[in-house]
Amino acid sequence: MSSRVDEKGRVVIPRTVAKELGLNKGDELIFERRGKTFVIKRRGKGKGGLEALMDWNPERRGEPAPVSPAEMKKIWET
């Protein structure tokens, strides 16, 4: 499968490829260089890594077990 670059540097993604990737008008694509080639990927619709981490709120289950200073030192040294 191939496509051509127009005079403005644009490339038309073949309909079958767009359908397979689930692309819609306005979707963002990521171009990754891999050696002498590029890989085109659809940008995820979720939040980025840092945003997802900041929103992460695990369920808390009870209180943590107390740890003595001696136990903490032993853990630290291993």
Question: Could you tell me the CATH number of the domain that includes residue 1?
Answer: 2.10.260.10
Residue 21: pLDDT band (50, 70, 90) is confident
Does 52 reside within a domain? yes
**Which residues, in sequence order, are CB contacts of 1 under 8 Å at separation 6+?**
14, 16, 17
Does 67 reside within a domain? no
What's the rounded mean pLDDT across residues 4-20? 92
Does 66 reside within a domain? no
What's the rounded mean pLDDT across residues 25-46? 86
Output DSSP code: residue 26. Answer: T
Does residue 17 or residue 46 have the better pLDDT? 17
pTM above 0.85, yes or no: no
Of 21, 51, 72, the closest CA to residue 30 belongs to 21
Q: Give the pLDDT confidence score for residue 50 in this predicted structure.
A: 76
In whole angstroms, give the CA distance from residue 1 to residue 17: 9
Does 10 reside within a domain? yes
Domain span including residue 7 = 1-56
Does 72 reside within a domain? no
